[in-house]
Structure 1
Amino acid sequence: MNKFLLATAAMAAAVAAFGATAEAADLGARPYYKQPAPVYAAPLYNWTGFYLGGHLGGVFADNNTFNGLALSDSSARFMGGVQAGYDWQLSPMWVIGLEGQYSWVGGHQLNAIFPGGYVYNNNQRGIASVTGRVGYTWGPGLIYVKGGYAYSDNNEKVTLGGVAIPFALSDSHQNGWTVGAGAEYMFAPNWSAKVEYQYYDFGDSRFTGPAALVPFGSFHNDEHTVKAGINYRFNFANPMAARY
């Protein structure tokens, strides 16, 4: 009887041990889940790329004279035009670029009435520039300075008694230089708005003919402009994201 009991207990222990082993085998090893690497999010605002836009504003001329002989000038005139350029975002903070723009100028009639009945008229139809610019950016915002070549689209004449006569100037005062500063803001994908001040200087010019106008010396031609504009930016790729 004792042998029977011992045999039964040994069998029960073996069954229990087998069951525990089978249960552990069924559970298997706990699976290992690898955490995905953090996904790099490309910068939301990218200034690199071509852009095309338009602007509106005003032109303000200084009070220039021929040796004390005042020139009549509508000193505040309307302007509107187009601009195009390319920007490179060198780092998260710095942007450089190149821009060309042309502005049509309305209602500009620069006149000088000389003794003897001579009348000089300069109708400035537009001003243009090709400039480089350097800017500091913080995401959607950009402040910048610019400078470069300036061009004045002039239509000039001298009349005597209402009849046009030949004349000559020492300088065409069509070519000059310009500097400016502004701020730009990206308000939507591919769209930015800007405000800008720009100064244009076309130098001094004097009459070399007819002889009656030579003694009156020279006049200085410069313009101050303030404008607001909007640009569409063709950001075909994000070069900053390519570094990651």
Structure 2
Amino acid sequence: MNKLLIGVVGALAIGLGAAPATAADLAPRPYTKAPPMIAAIYDWSGFYVGANGGWGSSRSCWDLTAPVAGGCHDATGGTIGGQIGYRWQSNNLVFGLEAQGNWADLNGRNVSIDFSRFTNHSRLDAFGLFTGQIGYSWDATLLYVKGGAAVTSNRYRSVDNVSGLQAADSVNDTRWGGVVGVGLEYGFAPNWSLGFEYDHIFMGNSSHTFINNGVIGAPGTTFGTDNIRQDVDLVTARINYRWGGPAIARY
């Protein structure tokens, strides 16, 4: 009996010595580094279409071919229009092509210097810009310069200050010139951007012959021929929607 009891106690002691290790006895798990965060990089590549609006000033100087000084004036007013273009991005450099068309209401006048009886009136009704762009981007911010061709639609007339009537038939003029500009644009959403732009349009000189309408001289005769110089300054706000390449991710 004693031998049996001693055997049972010995077996229990052996069993307890071979018990499995507890959680405290296990080796700690190796540390795994979290994956790096992904930073979104704005991509300016793709086609875009948008709208713009702002203010403009058309500087017009009239001189009769005699020569006789007619003087200068600024035709100012508002403008609204749209643009369409394409950009492609290489690292931080952004290149683009754009066509822009605007309606305008830029009006101005001055009393003729050498013929004070008459007032020269100018109006710019519309303009178009066809430009190339090169810019530098900081993620969603783009600073660019542009340059190319410009076309303006104008109307000129001379008013008799005595009668208050138009002294000659008005002249409609569509002329081509050049444009340079600078802009700053910010992408506030993957496909939307808001920007501000300044443009200077060089129109040069253009000669126009005015025909009497009967107020002063005989109808159909020459009232006068003027060389009219024109430059235009524009400040506009722009909003664009782009499609083609959304914001990309880079590690």
Q: Normalising to structure 1: TM-score of the pair?
A: 0.69
More strand by share: 2
Whole-Å separation in 2 of the counterparts to 1:119 and 1:75:
14
Q: Which residue of 2 aligns with 1:61?
A: 58
Q: CA offsets per residue over residues 105-131 of structure 1, 9 Å max, x none?
A: 114255775859787654321111010
**2:224 partner SS:** helix
Q: Does 1:222 align with 2:231?
A: yes
Q: Which residue of 2 aligns with 1:145?
A: 145
Q: 1:213 aligns with which of 205, 224, 243?
A: 224
**1:75 partner SS:** strand
Identity of aligned residues (%): 30
* Gapped regions of structure 2 (runs ≥ 5): 1-9, 11-16, 21-26, 161-165, 212-221
**1:46–1:235 Cα contact (<8 Å) kept:** no
Distance 1:227 1:116, change over 3 A: closer
Distance 1:226 1:237, change over 3 A: closer
**1:174 partner SS:** strand
Whole-Å separation in 1 of the counterparts to 2:106 and 2:60:
17
Whole-Å separation in 2 of the counterparts to 1:109 and 1:116:
16
**1:49–1:88 Cα contact (<8 Å) kept:** yes
Of stretches 43-52 and 68-77 in structure 1, the one that deviates more from structure 2 is 68-77
* Gapped regions of structure 1 (runs ≥ 5): 1-11, 13-19, 24-29
What is the RMSD of the two structures over their aligned residues, measured on CA atoms?
Answer: 4.6
Q: Which residue of 1 aligns with 2:169?
A: 164
Whole-Å separation in 2 of the counterparts to 1:90 and 1:158:
53
**1:164 partner SS:** coil
Q: CA offsets per residue over residues 56-102 of structure 1, 9 Å max, x none?
A: 111123352315634564532111111111110111x1100011111
The correspondence of residues 33-48 of structure 1 with structure 2, limited to 5 A, is 41=38, 43-48=40-45
Distance 1:102 1:154, change over 3 A: same
Q: Normalising to structure 2: TM-score of the pair?
A: 0.67
Q: Which residue of 1 aligns with 2:105?
A: 106
More helix by share: 1
Q: Which residue of 1 aligns with 2:199?
A: 198
Q: CA offsets per residue over residues 145-203 of structure 1, 9 Å max, x none?
A: 000010102345678964538x79xxx56111100001111112211111111000111
**2:104–2:127 Cα contact (<8 Å) kept:** yes
Distance 1:89 1:202, change over 3 A: same
How many matched pairs? 231
